[in-house]
Amino acid sequence: MFINSIYILLFSLTIIYSYPCPPECICKPTDTKDVDFIRMSYVITCSNAALKNEQLIHEAQEWSINEDKPYDLDDDGSTPNYVIAIDLSNSLSLKKFTNKTIQLTNFSYTIRGLSLANQGKKFTLGSNSFYSPIYENLRILNLSSCCKQIPDQCQQIFRPLKELRLLDLSGSDMYKTCLSTPGIVTFKI
């Protein structure tokens, strides 16, 4: 009886990190030492994963954290519960990336990093790839050795990425074509 009580006590004192994760991916927290729990940051790694219908779709179980939020981190007054980075490098089934490729629902999040590195020879970026509210806060975009085929209207492809701070186009000719027009990518200092 006493031992069972100790196990229950230890279990109740353990911090459990719970975050929505698609079953075909591996998810790991990136801020395990953060104690304010305003938002949880984690990485969704789907490298070498076979995505059904060329899409990353996950409908999280609905639940909420009842907590007092002392301040809002975003200017618009809404604070997403999760800050995520998504790694779709070396995808086994992804042939085209569009603004419908990633569909995560039933939880509030912001995507801060996206990697589409090392895709197959037939992989293409749709001209509307980043025209979606989920990419509004994207800061890091890795397209290293991503696209052998230059997307149509690629001069416009990066325009909606207002918060972009790091763009990796190494191993690709996209920088010659897509960034040849002044004002395509602007940086805030």
Condensed to tens digits (0 to 9), the pLDDT of residues 16-67 reads: 456 789 999 999 988 766 555 556 889 999 988 888 888 999 998 765 554 4
Domain ranges of the chain: 2-61+78-178
Helix, strand, coil shares of the chain as percentages rounded to 5? 15, 20, 65
pLDDT digits (tens, 9 = 90+) for 117-129: 998 888 888 888 9
Cα 22 off chain centre by: 12
What pLDDT shows up at residue 150? 76
145: alpha, beta or left? (left if phi > 0; alpha if psi -120 to 50) = left
- How far apart CA 45 and CA 84 sit, in angstroms, is 10
Q: Give the chain's mean pLDDT.
A: 79
What pLDDT shows up at residue 86? 96
> What pTM, to 2 d.p., does this model score?
0.77
CB 91 within 8 A of CB 49: yes
